[in-house]
Amino acid sequence: MPKNIQNNLYYFKISQENLESHLDANYFFLNKHPELSNYVSEVKNIKEILITIKRLKKEKEDEKIIDKYFKKLFIVFNQKFSNCSELGCFVNACDTTRDMIQKDYNSFKKITNLFLEKRELNDKVPDNWIQAILDSNSSRKKGELGERKLLKFLQKIEIKEVKNWKEFKKENKCVARFSKEIFSNNNVKKELDLKMNLKKQDKSLDLLIKYDKKLFILEAKHLNVGGGEQNKQISELIEILSLKKERNNVFYISFLDGTYSNFLLGKISKRAKRTLKQRKEIKKYLKNNLNNYWLNTTGFKTLFSDLIK
């Protein structure tokens, strides 16, 4: 165990005693979307084509002419800024997904006809409800925010971010973000001579931290609710804990914040069998793999504050 650092169960207890705030400003999206005007413009375009189709259908225009506008609408529907239209939201009411409809013109046409039949249509496109749709999708964009939150703290304690292997090897105290090009899982294994056998993790890990000769490999997740996808992400974090010690200077960190972290660390009802099982696995791997850590925000800050003492 490195000088000044306590055992991993100590930091697990620190995390349990200092749960996450229900409102973490690091994950807020308070400003209007910088490309709001582009979304508004594209939604207006979609509405204009829909109104045209509706009018042509009412006038019993030739099907070839109507289909020409359906195809035009299909092209627009596949554009970058088109996902905030009422038609795009209506797709969810038809037991399918936007991604699937974008690949299937016939299904798209069928759903559009249903939209025209079952929903009212006008030419208004208020900025505030386009922003509201973007707000409702903001939770999908939180992947990198956890990394930024941790990087901000590391920079405060003078652990600087580096962008390539030359800088990483030159610096005594630094952090790098995993990436497909430079700090990929395979490149990290090769450059640092690690096995890092992960089966459940189908993407790059998040942070590679170097402090003198010590290496910390971290996966970060932010979860506010439980469920199928969340259970998968917890399984990925637990797999990080299960990695066996390769060298005395290599440490693995599973970082979880958000309100689900509190649920997992706090008092668990006997009825929450899956969560009880997850907690049991976490404790088991912490006891068996002393170089691995399960941390929330306070646990992470305490570990690295102790490290630099």
Question: What pLDDT band is residue 140 in, cutting at 50, 70 and 90?
Answer: low
Tell me what pLDDT residue 270 has. Answer: 83
In a 13 Å sphere around the CA of 119, the CA atoms on its Cβ side amount to 20
Grouping H, G, I as helix, E, B as strand and the rest as coil, residue 293 is strand
The percent of residues above 90 in pLDDT, for the chain, comes to 74
Per-residue pLDDT band for 141 (boundaries 50, 70, 90) equals low
Q: Cα–Cα distance between 191 and 270 in angstroms, integer?
A: 45
Among the listed residues 256, 20, 302, the one whose alpha carbon sits nearest the alpha carbon of residue 157: 302
Using one digit for the tens of pLDDT, what is the confidence trace for 227-251? 566 888 999 999 999 999 989 999 9
Q: Which two tokens stand for residue 22?
A: 């229900």
State the Cα–Cα distance between residues 279 and 271, nearest whole angstrom: 14
Using one digit for the tens of pLDDT, what is the confidence trace for 58-109? 999 999 999 999 999 999 999 999 989 999 999 989 989 888 999 999 999 9
Question: Are the CB atoms for 288 and 257 separated by under 8 Å?
Answer: no
CA distance 286 to 8: 7
Write the CA distances from 152 to 69, 208, 247, integer angstroms. 50, 14, 28
Q: Percentage of residues in the chain with pLDDT exceeding 70?
A: 95
Looking at CATH, the fold of the domain delimited by 8-27+142-307 is given as Trna Endonuclease; Chain: A, domain 1 (3.40.1350)
Longest CA–CA separation in the chain, Å: 82
**pLDDT at residue 201 tops 80:** no
Tokens representing residue 202 in the block: 């189908």
Q: How many Å apart are CA 65 and CA 2, to the nearest integer?
A: 74
Measured distance between the N- and C-terminal CA atoms of the chain, rounded to whole angstroms: 15
Query: Residue 53 forms beta bridges with which residues?
Result: none
Report strand pairing: 250-257 vs 214-222.
Answer: parallel
Higher pLDDT, 140 or 281: 281
Contacts of 50 (CB under 8 A, 6+ apart): 73, 87, 112, 115, 116, 121
Q: Where are the chain's structural domains?
A: 8-27+142-307, 36-138
Residue indicated by tokens 């056998």 = 197
Closest by alpha carbon to 224, among 233, 216, 211, 235?
A: 233
